[in-house]
Amino acid sequence: MSLSRTAGALVSASASTSALLKFAAPSSSSRCPQCLRAFSSYKPYRQSSKRQLQTASAYYPSTFNPEPPPRNLGVPDTSIAGGVPEVNNTIPPRLTPDQREASAQDDRPSISIPESEAQRSKPTATSKPALRPRRYNFGPRKATIKLSPAAVSHLRDLLNRPEPKLIRIGTKAKGCSGLAYHLEYVDKPSKLDEQVEQDGVKVLIDNKALLNIIGSEMDWLEDKLNQRFVFKNPNITEQCGCGESFSVS
């Protein structure tokens, strides 16, 4: 009876011990997937500043843009653009004395010229420069002044005197219209005077009055009151009533 109680106590004690060990045993090694995910995305606070190495990727040439042509494309093959010139290192064969004389005779000119003729200077052909054609065809020059037969006759009488005199025609600022004729006797013309010769008589025109009286006609007028030279001037635009002064355009 005591033995059975002892065995029952031992069985109950072993059962309680196994139950206690079962609760005291560590849990299984399985973990929560969220914990693993959080742990894997965690980055350390202090990370190395060195750049991580990366293996070179495979190179695939692009066919969108063609390769540029070489720089020396289309350049003639000269000593600069071309390649290295080939140097001929072969030694020419030696010539015998007979061959040297024959080559010297071949190099001499076949025609001989005397030394005196060779030293004589030869005239060089000088080409005349071609004359340029005239671009402007100017009309005939307008006569400076014309002389009437009466004026020519009176001027010839003045030149036939013992002391011949020349008449110089000019203009002066005078009168109500601005200009008036001025005639004077001179012995010889000056360098700037315009000389007009007609029918053997000569008249001088002052260069300052040339533009005012060009194209005029000179006449000799005699009446009961006076004798004088008169002028028919086509350049006159205005003239006073007495006819002494005039103005030109």
The domain spanning residue 190 has which CATH number? 2.60.300.12
Whether residue 175 is contained in a domain is answered as: yes
In a domain, 178, yes or no: yes
| Residue 172 CB coordination number (10 Å) | 14
Domain membership flag for residue 111: no
Residue 239 falls inside a structural domain: yes
CB-count exposure of residue 37 (10 Å: 0-12, 13-18, 19+): exposed
* Structural domain of 197: 145-248
Q: pLDDT digits over 151-177, tens only?
A: 999 888 888 888 888 889 998 888 787
DSSP, res 29: S
SS3 34: helix
Q: Is residue 17 part of a domain?
A: no
pLDDT digits (tens, 9 = 90+) for 19-58: 555 545 455 555 555 555 544 444 554 555 556 555 655 5
User: Between vectors from CA 141 to CA 135 and to CA 143, what angle results, nearest 5°?
Assistant: 175
Task: Provide the domain count of the chain.
Answer: 1
Is residue 57 helix, strand or coil?
A: coil
- Tell me the pLDDT of the chain (249 aa) as tens digits: 454 555 555 555 555 555 555 545 455 555 555 555 544 444 554 555 556 555 655 555 565 667 777 776 766 665 555 555 565 656 666 777 777 777 766 666 556 666 667 677 666 666 666 677 666 555 556 678 889 999 999 888 888 888 888 889 998 888 787 888 888 888 888 888 888 888 888 899 988 888 888 888 999 988 888 888 888 888 888 888 777 788 887
217 is a domain residue: yes
Whether 74 maps to a domain, the answer reads: no
Task: Kindly state whether residue 10 falls inside one of the protein's structural domains.
Answer: no
In the three-class reduction of DSSP (H, G, I as helix; E, B as strand; rest coil), residue 46 is classed as coil
DSSP 131: P
Chain centroid to CA 99: how far?
Answer: 62
Nearest 5°: CA angle at 40, between 39 and 46? Answer: 85
